[in-house]
Amino acid sequence: MQVATQDRAFARFAQYWLPVLAYVAVIFGLSAQPNLVVPLHFPNADKVAHLLEYSVLGILTVRALRSTRWLAGALAGGLVALSLGMLVGASDETFQRLIPGRESSGLDFLADAVGLTLAQVLYLAVRRE
């Protein structure tokens, strides 16, 4: 009985939380690249990249949070996902200060926050809540 419960818990973790952790690792892996240039070539392309990057994080995070019994509600799950995502965004911007050729920007953090917020709205719209 105990083993079956542990197996289910691990399967649930792998399905919902492992993608979040892997994606955060990708974000920080990209942030650790010195002199990284956004492959898009138009004004404020980096802000669009931040918005898209953190929209994905927002969807993955709210999906994981809503899979738990404690944060299954739309408002609670969305607000916690937004808060966690903003914590990752702030940490990422702080981390980038340490990388040669990278800079930290409040506008990048704002783009992160907008992406996270849009993700919550999109998640609710798709789920029709």
122: enclosing H helix or E strand: helix 106-127
- pTM reported for the whole predicted model: 0.90
7-43 confidence digits (pLDDT tens): 888 898 999 999 999 999 999 999 999 998 888 889 9
Strands (E), 23-120: none
| Domain chopping of the chain, boundaries | 2-32+43-127
Scanning the structure block, which residue is given the tokens 């969305």?
78
- Cα-trace Rg, the chain: 16
CA distance 9 to 101: 42
* C-beta separation of 77 from 62 below 8 A: yes
pLDDT exceeds cutoff 80 at 50? yes
Strands (E), 1-129: none
